[in-house]
A and B are shown apart, each in its own frame.
Chain A
Amino acid sequence: MPADRFYRIEDNDKLGRFWLKGEIPVVATRAIPPSSELLWLPADQPRSASGAYKDVRITYKTNAQGWRSREIVPTSPNKKIMFVGCSFTMGIGVPYDEVWTSMATQHIEASLGEPIEQHNFGYGAHGNDFFAMVVHQVLPILKPDLLVVLFTDLSRRTLFQQFGHRLPLLPSYVPDDNRAVHEAYLRLQSDHGDFMDFVRQHSFIDAVATVNRTPWVWQANGPHVLPHSAQVAKYVRNDNMIDCAFPAYGLAATDETMKRDYARDGVHPGPRANKTFGLATARFILGRGLCAEEK
């Protein structure tokens, strides 16, 4: 990308379509092209393959916009569940059928005895502001029967330096060509600002879901992500909060088996954590009769 090129707002329509109403955002990149099947991702490389999935063939199948999900057919008569989140939801280092979103969909499908479409809008490295954007753009087009959001660390932000291009900002990834921007982001960060941002994104998603008459449920991708529940309850709606936190795994776990529960990349949650949270999500949804009503 030439640095001296001036990107106009029209370039956003041709490139990412970010925040553009009535359009699905395009997240495909050179490394993760649209409508493709990949065996490895930049985040999941053969040199770091380990754990239960070390020798398992994992396929990353992307749709026309670059999401690890099925194609969007708004006229499809089946019930649809839309999942939004970060790499935990995308299922980096995990076969698609064993990601918590697939676990939840399969369980709900078996309980209700009818086909249910899983629409996975999980995308790695991005934060809650990005999730709010995805809900804003996709929900009115897809019109799912249920929306499930797995919020990520509250410090992550998306920066649009040029129209049609996004720069995800997160503490552990320092982009080589944007070191100064990354440092500025870290200097501006505060836990208080992060919580206020979470409240804003959460309330925005709630408003979009309410306007589109779509029930929704949510949780955060780790027990340490949110402040204590009394404070959360004061600021955001929590009657739709899934009653099971995403299980602690790896170094944070106390249980011996969970300590070794890693995905193939050796960083993300493995099969046990995905299964536990997927089933807990399904139970929560079925227990409230969400997704059970006739279309």
Chain B
Amino acid sequence: MNILHRLLRPLKLALERWSFRRKVKRLQKRDPFIY
């Protein structure tokens, strides 16, 4: 892994977390029911 990948890694993780949170919010808006 070169230095660029190493520097970008936290950014990639943050992006992944952000996109997952967005996905969950979208799904919960589409099906807001718990029953």
Find the residue from B20, B28, B30, B35 having the highest chain A CB count within 10 A: B35
Q: Name the B residues within 8 Å of A155 (CB-CB).
A: 27, 30-31
Does B18 sit at the interface, judged by CB under 8 A? no
Q: Name the B residues within 8 Å of A189 (CB-CB).
A: 23, 27
Find the residue from B24, B28, B33, B34 having the highest chain A CB count within 10 A: B33
A268 to B35, alpha carbons, bound, how many Å?
9
Which of A6-14, A139-147, A165-173, A236-244 lies at the binding interface? A165-173
CB <8 Å contact, B32 and A172: yes
Q: Name the A residues within 8 Å of B28 (CB-CB).
A: 171-172
- Bin the interface of chain A by size: 20 to 34
Q: Name the B residues within 8 Å of A171 (CB-CB).
A: 24, 27-28, 30-31
Q: Which residue of A lies closest to B34 (CB)?
A: A173
Which of B20, B23, B34 is the one whose CB lies under 8 Å from A172? B34
Tell whether A125 pairs with B20 under 8 Å between CB atoms, given A155-B27, A171-B27, A186-B27: no
CB <8 Å contact, B35 and A43: yes
A87 to B33, alpha carbons, bound, how many Å?
9
Find the residue from A86, A156, A172, A268 having the highest chain B CB count within 10 A: A172
Task: Give how many B residues have a beta carbon under 8 Å from the other chain's beta carbons.
Answer: 11
Number of A-B contacts (CB under 8 A): 47
Nearest-Cβ distance from residue B19 to partner chain A, whole angstroms: 11
The prevalent SS among residues of A at the interface is loop
| Interfacial residues of chain B within 1-35, with CB under 8 A of chain A in the complex | 20, 23-24, 27-28, 30-35
Nearest-Cβ distance from residue B17 to partner chain A, whole angstroms: 12
Nearest-Cβ distance from residue A47 to partner chain B, whole angstroms: 15
Q: Name the B residues within 8 Å of A268 (CB-CB).
A: 33
Does A224 sit at the interface, judged by CB under 8 A? yes
CB <8 Å contact, A170 and B34: yes
Q: Name the A residues within 8 Å of B34 (CB-CB).
A: 43, 125, 170, 172-173
Nearest-Cβ distance from residue A84 to partner chain B, whole angstroms: 16
Q: Name the A residues within 8 Å of B27 (CB-CB).
A: 155, 171, 186, 189
With contacts A153-B31, A189-B27, A224-B30 known, what are 18 further pairs, Cβ within 8 A?
Answer: A42-B35, A43-B34, A86-B33, A87-B35, A92-B35, A124-B35, A125-B34, A153-B33, A155-B31, A170-B31, A170-B33, A170-B34, A171-B24, A171-B31, A172-B31, A172-B34, A189-B23, A267-B32
Binding site for A on B (CB under 8 A): 20, 23-24, 27-28, 30-35
- Please, could you name 29 A-B residue pairs with CB atoms under 8 Å apart, sorted by A? A86-B33, A87-B35, A124-B35, A125-B33, A125-B34, A152-B31, A153-B31, A153-B33, A155-B27, A155-B30, A155-B31, A156-B31, A170-B31, A170-B33, A171-B27, A171-B30, A171-B31, A172-B31, A172-B32, A172-B33, A172-B34, A173-B34, A173-B35, A186-B24, A186-B27, A187-B20, A189-B23, A189-B27, A267-B33
